[in-house]
Structure 1
Amino acid sequence: MKKLAIVITHPIQYYAPWFKLLAIRGRVKLKVFYTWSQTSDTVKDKTFGREIKWDIPLLDGYEYEFINNVSKEPGSHHFFGIDCPELISKLTEYHPDAILFFGWNFKSHLGAMRYFHGKTPVWFRGDSTLLNESGGLRTRIRRLVLKKVYKYIDKAFYVGQENKSYFKKHGLEESQLIRASHAIDNSRFDDDTHKKYDIRAEEWREELGYESDNILIVYAGKLEMVKQVGFLIEAFKIAIKKNTKIRLLIVGNGPLETKLKEMSSHTTEIKFLPFQNQTKMPLLYRMSNVFCLPSKSETWGLGVNEAMASSRPVLVSDKVGCAKDMVTNGHNGFIFRHDDIIELVNIIQDLKLIQLNQMKARAYKNVQNFNFLNIVDALEKELLNIDQYK
């Protein structure tokens, strides 16, 4: 049986389920090597400013090992935050037919990619895009560096159109690129008589004081500059002068929390909730009428997948990486220019419940095309035919 090794920093709620699916299908043998050993129990998130322990299982159903990280400042936010002297030897002992790396910009990940290049097929998964490039000397230097890095890669599993363009710009050929779109566990957001998501969401909505004819816009994520939550608040404050039925709920924590609350202090139609863990998210999306992601830089935006899996349309900026793949303007959501507040104001003030309700089924249908099975199929197909290019 062909063996696949996966190298990734820490357990992540969007990846662990398809690791499990890959393992239980039994077509290939899988082992995941986690390089940020300090996260075996919890993840300390700097932006949220707190330690996060996910309330869904992330280590069930597949083989894994935490490799000792000796970094003096462990973390996934800088190159020297992942320093695992044993990584190469551990991978060698496993003797995989291919190694899939998540992220190159860590000391041990890049070192292992260089070591195994030409010995074992090196695969890569990342979701970077060109959407936020500013040009100039810095971009040209970065392009040269990345082209050298990606020469160590045999195959890249791209997450969407913007990500594919990024890989091509940095030297990868069409034959090296395999589509494996970002996905979530869609079934986890489905409702049934046991989960009672719709009923519980409606109860939560009523507890927060929303009326049935209110149009509730929800943002859920980190409260940091790149997310442009302040931009959304300003647009909302203008739009509500025309559309008095709209409401805005901002969910999350982060460095801008105090500032954003001050911006909203005189607008009672704007409310805040703290970070909500994974089991609450299906309720949160269903409580909304539309989910908004106004970021000025977002490699994909998996909250869009979650909202659509909850049968909710979305409102996203043109800098959200998944927009081109997932959102058809006016059909299952809306796309606005990230720096055009008037365009966002016009969309918000024109929102109508009847239109948003019609979009629900279209959003749900669309997201079913973005699933874990497609990712697993792509990996299995490449691994089972690996002798062709090994």
Structure 2
Amino acid sequence: MWSCDQRKKIEILLDSMKKLSDCILIIVGDGNDMYYYKKYATDKKLDNVIFVGRVIENVDCYYQVADIFIMPCQGGLALNQAMIHQKPIICGKADGSEYDLVINGYNGFRDENLTPDKIVTYVEEIKKIGIEKMGKNSLSILFEKEILFEKFVERFVKGIININILGE
């Protein structure tokens, strides 16, 4: 559920769909590379991929119908939004918030070296653990505000210290 541009590595997600034939991938968003990804999906004969396009209002309905939220790379507040909707998460390297928001095996899986095969493995693992259970865990993480705020402050202070050390 993001804009379609190649920095977001959507091809990793598309390639996983060949092995996840019992799943449907819904991509919400547009962007400079949307046509590239549509052609990519067509060329790979991925019949289980739907490109919705840009959605400004009521994007929450797409989160509600999803079982799992997958973000191969970058995404801003999309992780938070998926977690509000109680979705398990699979994500690659994003903006850094994934380290606080995604706990491997608890509410999803975080992997800086995400590949199509790893996505398949993580989807199967989430199904075994329980989509609903992991989704509820996602929501519970968001409500542990003190812990998240404490981690934010800790990272901020470390960043300031590193800047001071490098500046000397």
Using structure 2 for the length normalisation, give the TM-score: 0.76
From 49, 71, 86, the equivalent of 1:311 is 86
* Structure 2 partner of 1:329: 104
* Structure 2 partner of 1:252: 29
Letter in 2 for 1:360: G
* Closer, same or farther: CA 246–311 of 1 in aligned 2, 3 Å: same
1:222-261 to 2 correspondence within 5 Å?
A: 222-237=3-18, 239-240=19-20, 244-261=21-38
* Structure 1 partner of 2:50: 271
Highest RCO, 1 vs 2 (Cα 8 Å, sep ≥ 6): 2
Report whether the alignment pairs 1:355 with 2:130. yes
1:1-390 to 2 correspondence within 5 Å?
A: 220-237=1-18, 239-240=19-20, 244-265=21-42, 266-277=45-56, 279-295=57-73, 298=74, 301-338=76-113, 340-352=115-127, 355-370=130-145
Partner of 1:360: helix, strand, or coil? Answer: helix
Partner of 1:246: helix, strand, or coil? Answer: coil
* Closer, same or farther: CA 348–313 of 1 in aligned 2, 3 Å: closer
Give the number of the structure whose residues are more often strand, by fraction: 1
* Structure 1 partner of 2:158: none
Contact (CA 8 Å) 1:294, 1:338: kept in 2 or not?
no
1:194-248 Cα distance to aligned partner (Å, 9 max, x none): xxxxxxxxxxxxxxxxxxxxxxxxxx111111111111101222x22xxx42211
Using structure 1 for the length normalisation, give the TM-score: 0.35
1:69-105 Cα distance to aligned partner (Å, 9 max, x none): xxxxxxxxxxxxxxxxxxxxxxxxxxxxxxxxxxxxx
Letter in 1 for 2:134: M
Partner of 1:331: helix, strand, or coil? Answer: coil
Give the number of the structure whose residues are more often helix, by fraction: 2
Alpha-carbon shift at residue 346 of structure 1 (Å): 2.1
Tell me the distance in 2 between the aligned counterparts of 1:339 and 1:360: 20
Unpaired stretches in structure 1, ≥5 consecutive residues? 1-219, 379-390
* Closer, same or farther: CA 358–349 of 1 in aligned 2, 3 Å: closer
Unpaired stretches in structure 2, ≥5 consecutive residues? 154-168
Letter in 1 for 2:82: A
Q: Which has the larger radius of gyration?
A: 1
* Structure 2 partner of 1:190: none
* Closer, same or farther: CA 272–353 of 1 in aligned 2, 3 Å: farther
Identity of aligned residues (%): 21
Contact (CA 8 Å) 1:327, 1:333: kept in 2 or not?
yes
Return structure 1 stretches of 4+ with deviation > 6 angstroms: none
The number of aligned residues is 146
Contact (CA 8 Å) 1:289, 1:353: kept in 2 or not?
no
